[in-house]
């Protein structure tokens, strides 16, 4: 019987290996730029033609190579990054397998020019992975690699490439992601001679975000800086009020390496719970730094995935990091553009201006605020809807409904997991009629209704009797609130919430909060402001709308010609 198993010829094996690394022109761009960064480049220039099908050229000012190293670098598994299997633990470079360059060479006409000192240089020419020429070259310190005719020797694969514009966008995205990892490196990208972007080295990560995506997006981002145990999470998370259902940016990096991990993105989104409307997707740029032995980077041919030693710990810390970024009042939305991460916080010194003498029973009691001794702030209500007060950095404007909605939501969540809410027995019980779906919603949420203060009993037919009701504020209308609450629960208005208790609390808070148009006396305004500023997530209501916006003092002075 003739043998069925044979060792593949080198050209076939090389093309199979290339298929794991080189999927499209963007893959070539990614690998070559990563090599440039690993070589210590401070400036990288990328040029593509015909979407990268005709030409891809990456030039850098890195350490370059001598002739012997340049020739060896084109062999499979030749690398300067590791020497033994143990070196894979904690490897900090983008590349380490020694597969990218020979894989690219096997499916293109490749030219490599390099010099380690700017005096002696080498030029290599390869066709389909075979060395055709080795010559001297004159160039500055660094390396230039040019790949022409990608997949020229595998026409079947070349047919699967997309239109040039699509491939160019993909290559641009690959460079964008790497540019985020290294704001200290300058990047230039040109397509068919037309510059797509020219990024100078940036002093701060937010400056690189601004250069890539514009001030409009950069100003919506909040800084993330959080550490628990060996894991540090930094980067940026978008203000909840700017989150949208589509068009968001989401990038995650582990030890400086861009990865694709939907579970980490989902963990970050969980940090927005009760701060955005279900279905909205915030933009995120997160950098995770942890010891090398806590993560395995050698699990994906293109190094796009990693495996964590403690996956659940990492996801928990990412969620907490985002939530911590949203908690400070710096998350409040500005009335005017220009307040982005890294600028002075608008709420510095606000504690010195908190009002005193708040009667604690107005909005539910508790908290011990009456014992504090602080100067009295002047509060103004306009349009019976907004509360204005001064901060050290400008003027704050609070939406009274959104603010009370946030306060109520957090209180109700505590009540649902604790002893429930105090309720007042009605002097005259309410008899209310509901539709059959609404009666089903009452039955399904009977215990939760009771825990927030509604004692509801069946009477006859479609009628129920309400014996007790909560009293979240003096203008509370128990019948109207219960009717709207039950209608929302029956109609699924808050159906995007996956947690049943959170959905109920958000629905109740929305319907029970004081409304726009309610006139508040000074004591009520003081207590509402205090309770908002001491909430866990004060800057946004349960729909992701801002509870506070501010007008910086600098903007006032600019408008009145004082600057």
CATH assignment, 206-326: 3.30.230.10
Listing DSSP states for 438-450 in one string gives HHHHHHHTHHHHH
Residues of the chain with CATH 3.30.230.10: 206-326
Q: How confident is the model at residue 201 (pLDDT cuts 50, 70, 90)?
A: very high
In whole angstroms, give the CA distance from residue 413 to residue 508: 10
In whole angstroms, give the CA distance from residue 449 to residue 451: 5
> Residue 381 pairs with which residues in a beta bridge?
387
Write down the pLDDT at residue 345. Answer: 44
Q: Is the confidence at residue 480, as pLDDT, over 70? A: yes
pLDDT of 221-273, one tens digit each? 999 999 999 999 999 999 998 999 988 999 999 999 999 999 999 999 999 98
- Average pLDDT, integer, range 279-290: 95
Q: How confident is the model at residue 328 (pLDDT cuts 50, 70, 90)?
A: confident
Strand, helix or coil at 52? helix
CB 307 within 8 A of CB 296: yes
Structure token pair of residue 515: 């409304």
pLDDT of 365-417, one tens digit each? 444 333 345 445 689 999 999 999 887 778 889 999 999 999 999 999 999 98
- Average pLDDT, integer, range 303-321: 91
Q: Is the confidence at residue 359, as pLDDT, over 50? A: no
- Any alpha helices (H) in 66-149, and if so which ranges? 67-72, 100-106
Q: How confident is the model at residue 492 (pLDDT cuts 50, 70, 90)?
A: confident
- Average pLDDT, integer, range 508-524: 95
Write down the pLDDT at residue 336. Answer: 60
Write down the pLDDT at residue 17. Answer: 57
Task: List all residues 6 or more positions away from 441 whose beta carbon is below 8 Å from its beta carbon.
Answer: 486, 489, 490
Structure token pair of residue 103: 């894989």
Burial class (CB within 10 angstroms; exposed 0-12, middle 13-18, buried 19+) of 372? middle
- Average pLDDT, integer, range 134-147: 96
- Any alpha helices (H) in 310-356, and if so which ranges? 311-326
Mean residue pLDDT across the chain: 86
Q: How confident is the model at residue 50 (pLDDT cuts 50, 70, 90)?
A: very high
Residues of the chain with CATH 3.30.565.10: 10-201
Residues of the chain with CATH 3.30.1370.100: 423-469+476-512
In whole angstroms, give the CA distance from residue 182 to residue 45: 14
In whole angstroms, give the CA distance from residue 518 to residue 528: 13
Phi and psi dihedrals of 191, rounded to 5?
A: -125, 120
- Average pLDDT, integer, range 168-179: 97
pLDDT greater at residue 381 or residue 299: 381
Write down the pLDDT at residue 394. Answer: 84
- Lowest-confidence range among 219-228, 416-425, 441-450, 538-547? 416-425
- Lowest-confidence range among 105-109, 331-335, 392-396? 331-335
CATH architecture of 423-469+476-512: 2-Layer Sandwich (3.30)
CATH assignment, 10-201: 3.30.565.10
In whole angstroms, give the CA distance from residue 285 to residue 312: 20
Write down the pLDDT at residue 353. Answer: 44
Task: List all residues 6 or more positions away from 447 whose beta carbon is below 8 Å from its beta carbon.
Answer: none
Write down the pLDDT at residue 26. Answer: 97
Q: Is the confidence at residue 153, as pLDDT, over 90? A: yes
In the chain, % of residues over pLDDT 70 = 83
CB 95 within 8 A of CB 148: no
DSSP annotation of 375: P
In the chain, % of residues over pLDDT 90 = 64
């Amino acid at each position: 019987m003739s043998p069925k198993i044979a060792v593949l010829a080198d050209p076939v094996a090389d093309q199979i290996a290339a298929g794991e690394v080189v999927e499209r022109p963007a893959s070539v761009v990614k690998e070559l730029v990563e090599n440039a960064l690993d070589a210590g480049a401070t400036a990288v220039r990328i040029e593509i033609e015909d979407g990268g099908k005709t030409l891809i050229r990456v030039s850098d000012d890195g350490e370059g190579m001598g002739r012997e190293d340049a020739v060896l670098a084109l062999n499979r598994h030749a690398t300067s990054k590791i020497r033994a299997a143990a070196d894979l633990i904690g490897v900090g470079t983008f590349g380490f397998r020694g597969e990218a360059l020979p894989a690219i060479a096997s499916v293109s006409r490749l030219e490599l020019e390099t010099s380690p000192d700017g005096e002696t240089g080498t030029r290599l020419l390869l066709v389909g992975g075979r060395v055709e020429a080795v010559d001297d070259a004159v160039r500055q310190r660094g390396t230039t690699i040019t790949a022409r005719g990608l997949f020229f020797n595998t026409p079947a694969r070349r047919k699967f490439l997309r239109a040039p514009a699509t491939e160019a966008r993909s290559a641009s995205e690959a460079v964008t992601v790497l540019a985020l990892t290294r704001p200290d490196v300058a990047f230039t990208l040109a397509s068919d001679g037309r510059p797509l972007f020219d990024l100078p080295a940036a002093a701060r990560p937010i400056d690189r975000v601004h250069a890539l995506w514009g001030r409009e997006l950069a100003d919506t981002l909040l800084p993330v800086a959080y550490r628990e145990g060996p894991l540090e999470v930094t980067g940026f998370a978008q203000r909840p009020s700017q989150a949208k259902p589509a068009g968001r940016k989401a990038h995650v990096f582990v030890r400086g390496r861009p990865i694709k991990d939907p579970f980490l993105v989902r963990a970050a989104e969980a940090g927005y719970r009760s701060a955005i409307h279900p279905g909205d997707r915030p933009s995120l740029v997160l950098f995770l730094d942890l010891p090398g032995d806590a993560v395995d980077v050698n699990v994906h041919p293109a190094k796009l995935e990693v495996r964590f030693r403690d996956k659940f710990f990492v996801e928990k810390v990412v969620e907490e990091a985002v939530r911590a970024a949203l908690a400070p009042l710096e998350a409040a939305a500005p009335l005017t553009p220009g307040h982005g991460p890294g600028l002075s916080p608008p709420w510095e010194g606000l504690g010195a201006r908190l009002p005193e003498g708040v009667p604690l029973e107005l909005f539910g009691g508790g908290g011990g605020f009456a014992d504090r001794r602080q100067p009295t702030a002047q509060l103004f209500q306009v349009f019976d809807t907004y509360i204005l007060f001064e901060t050290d950095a400008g003027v704050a404007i609070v939406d009274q409904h959104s603010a009370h909605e946030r306060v109520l939501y957090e209180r109700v969540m505590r009540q649902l997991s604790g002893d429930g809410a105090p309720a007042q027995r009605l002097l005259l019980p309410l008899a209310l009629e509901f539709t059959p779906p609404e009666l089903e919603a009452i039955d399904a949420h009977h215990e939760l209704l009771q825990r927030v203060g509604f004692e509801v009993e069946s009477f006859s037919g479609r009628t129920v009797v309400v014996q007790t009701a909560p009293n979240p504020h003096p203008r509370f209308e128990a019948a109207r609130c219960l009717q709207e609450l039950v209608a929302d629960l029956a109609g699924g208005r808050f159906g995007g919430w996956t947690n049943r208790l959170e959905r109920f609390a958000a629905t109740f808070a929305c319907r029970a909060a004081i409304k726009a148009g309610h006139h508040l006396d000074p004591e009520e305004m003081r207590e509402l402001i205090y309770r908002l500023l001491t909430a866990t997530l004060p800057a946004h209501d349960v729909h992701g709308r801002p509870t506070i916006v501010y007008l910086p003092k600098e903007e006032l002075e600019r408008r009145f010609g004082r600057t």
